[in-house]
Structure 1
Amino acid sequence: MSTIPSTIPESTGKLASARAFLCSTQHLTDWQQIASHLSFVDLQCMGGGMMAAAEWCRQNTSPDLLIVDVSDCDDILSKVDTLADVCEPHTKVVVVGRDADINLFRRLIGMGVSDYLHFPLDQNTVADALANVIGSTQGRERLGKTLAVVGCGGGVGTTSVVANLCWHLAYAEQVKTAACDYDIYTGDLDLLLGSEANSQFRLLLGDAGRLDDLLLDRALVDIDDRLALLKAVGPNNTEQDITIDPAALPMVNHLLQKRHNYVVWDLPPRAVFNAGGQQLLLGADTLVLVLSNTLTSVRQLHYCLQLAQQRPGMRVFTVLNHVQNDKFAHLKQAQIEQAINRPIDILLHHEPQRMIRAHESGKPMVADSVPDDWQEAMQRLLGKTVEKPSWLRQMSERLSSRR
Structure 2
Amino acid sequence: MNAIDYAIDSQDPADAPGGEELGALRPLPRISVHAFCESDASQAIMEACGRDRRMAKVSLKINRGGVAAAANMFASIATPNLIILETSTEPRHLLQELAPLAAVCDPSTKVVIIGRHNDISLYRELMRNGISEYLVMPVGMAEILAAISAIFVDPDAEPLGRTIAFIGAKGGVGSSTLAHNCAYGISSLFSTEVIIADLDLAYGTANINFDQDPPQGMVEAVFSPERLDEVFLDRLLTKCSDHLSLLAAPSMLDRTYDFQGDSFTPLMDTLQRAAPVSVLDVPHAWNDWTRQVLSSADELVIVATPDLANLRNAKNMVDIVRKLRPNDKSPHFILNQVGMPKRPEVSPTDFSESLEIEPAAILPFDAVLFGQAANSGRMIAETDRKAPAAETFAQLAHLLTGRTTAKRAKKAKLAGMLEALRRR
TM-score normalised by L of structure 2: 0.55
User: What's the offset of the Cα at 1:181?
Assistant: 1.0
Instruction: Tell which structure's C-alpha radius of gyration is larger.
Output: 2
2:171 is the counterpart of 1:154: yes
Deviations 1:154-186 (A, max 9, x none): 110101111111111111111010011111111
- SS of equivalent residue, structure 1 residue 164: helix
Question: What's the counterpart of residue 312 of structure 1?
Answer: 326
Question: What's the counterpart of residue 374 of structure 1?
Answer: 393
- Alignment coverage as a number of residue pairs: 268
2:359 is the counterpart of 1:344: yes
CA distance in structure 2 between the aligned counterparts of 1:348 and 1:250, rounded to whole angstroms: 32
Contact kept, 8 Å, 2:202 with 2:253, in 1: the verdict is no
1:283 to 268, 282, 296: 296
Q: Which amino acid aligns with 1:267?
A: V
2:264 is the counterpart of 1:249: yes
CA distance in structure 2 between the aligned counterparts of 1:225 and 1:112, rounded to whole angstroms: 35
Contact kept, 8 Å, 2:230 with 2:274, in 1: the verdict is no
Deviations 1:367-396 (A, max 9, x none): 3432633333333333424586999xxxxx
Deviations 1:108-152 (A, max 9, x none): x7599965xxxxxxxxxxxxxxxxx6xxxxxx6621001011111
* Greater CA drift, 169-178 or 210-219: 210-219
User: What's the offset of the Cα at 1:199?
Assistant: 1.6
RMSD of equivalent CA atoms:
3.5
Deviations 1:228-263 (A, max 9, x none): 1011213343xx223434323111011011010001
Question: What's the counterpart of residue 362 of structure 1?
Answer: 377
Contact kept, 8 Å, 2:189 with 2:394, in 1: the verdict is no
Contact kept, 8 Å, 2:301 with 2:333, in 1: the verdict is yes
Contact kept, 8 Å, 1:205 with 1:244, in 2: the verdict is no
CA distance in structure 2 between the aligned counterparts of 1:203 and 1:244, rounded to whole angstroms: 14
CA distance in structure 2 between the aligned counterparts of 1:248 and 1:355, rounded to whole angstroms: 33
Contact kept, 8 Å, 1:293 with 1:331, in 2: the verdict is yes
Q: Which amino acid aligns with 1:314?
A: D
Q: Which amino acid aligns with 1:188?
A: T
Contact kept, 8 Å, 2:162 with 2:272, in 1: the verdict is yes
CA distance in structure 2 between the aligned counterparts of 1:179 and 1:376, rounded to whole angstroms: 19
Question: What's the counterpart of residue 225 of structure 2?
Answer: 208
CA distance in structure 2 between the aligned counterparts of 1:352 and 1:217, rounded to whole angstroms: 36
2:196 is the counterpart of 1:179: yes
Change in 2 beyond 3 A, CA 1:142/1:278: same
> Percent identity among equivalent residues?
21
Structure 1: 5+ residue stretches without partners: 1-76, 85-101, 116-132, 134-139, 392-403
CA distance in structure 2 between the aligned counterparts of 1:112 and 1:174, rounded to whole angstroms: 31
Contact kept, 8 Å, 2:180 with 2:196, in 1: the verdict is yes
Deviations 1:302-348 (A, max 9, x none): 22112221213434111000266165133222232333344333211
Deviations 1:55-85 (A, max 9, x none): xxxxxxxxxxxxxxxxxxxxxx999x99x9x
CA distance in structure 2 between the aligned counterparts of 1:166 and 1:233, rounded to whole angstroms: 20
Contact kept, 8 Å, 1:153 with 1:291, in 2: the verdict is yes
Contact kept, 8 Å, 1:113 with 1:142, in 2: the verdict is no
Change in 2 beyond 3 A, CA 1:205/1:114: closer
Question: What's the counterpart of residue 280 of structure 2?
Answer: 265
Contact kept, 8 Å, 2:186 with 2:194, in 1: the verdict is yes
CA distance in structure 2 between the aligned counterparts of 1:206 and 1:277, rounded to whole angstroms: 16
Change in 2 beyond 3 A, CA 1:112/1:314: farther
CA distance in structure 2 between the aligned counterparts of 1:174 and 1:339, rounded to whole angstroms: 37
User: What's the offset of the Cα at 1:192?
Assistant: 1.7
CA distance in structure 1 between the aligned counterparts of 2:172 and 2:317, rounded to whole angstroms: 17
CA distance in structure 2 between the aligned counterparts of 1:362 and 1:214, rounded to whole angstroms: 28
Q: Which amino acid aligns with 1:266?
A: D
CA distance in structure 2 between the aligned counterparts of 1:150 and 1:312, rounded to whole angstroms: 19
2:229 is the counterpart of 1:219: no
CA distance in structure 2 between the aligned counterparts of 1:291 and 1:374, rounded to whole angstroms: 16
User: What's the offset of the Cα at 1:224?
Assistant: 3.5
Structure 2: 5+ residue stretches without partners: 1-17, 27-133, 136-142, 414-424
2:367 is the counterpart of 1:335: no
Change in 2 beyond 3 A, CA 1:110/1:278: farther
User: What's the offset of the Cα at 1:214?
Assistant: 4.5
Contact kept, 8 Å, 2:183 with 2:397, in 1: the verdict is no
TM-score normalised by L of structure 1: 0.58
Change in 2 beyond 3 A, CA 1:161/1:111: farther
Contact kept, 8 Å, 1:292 with 1:322, in 2: the verdict is yes
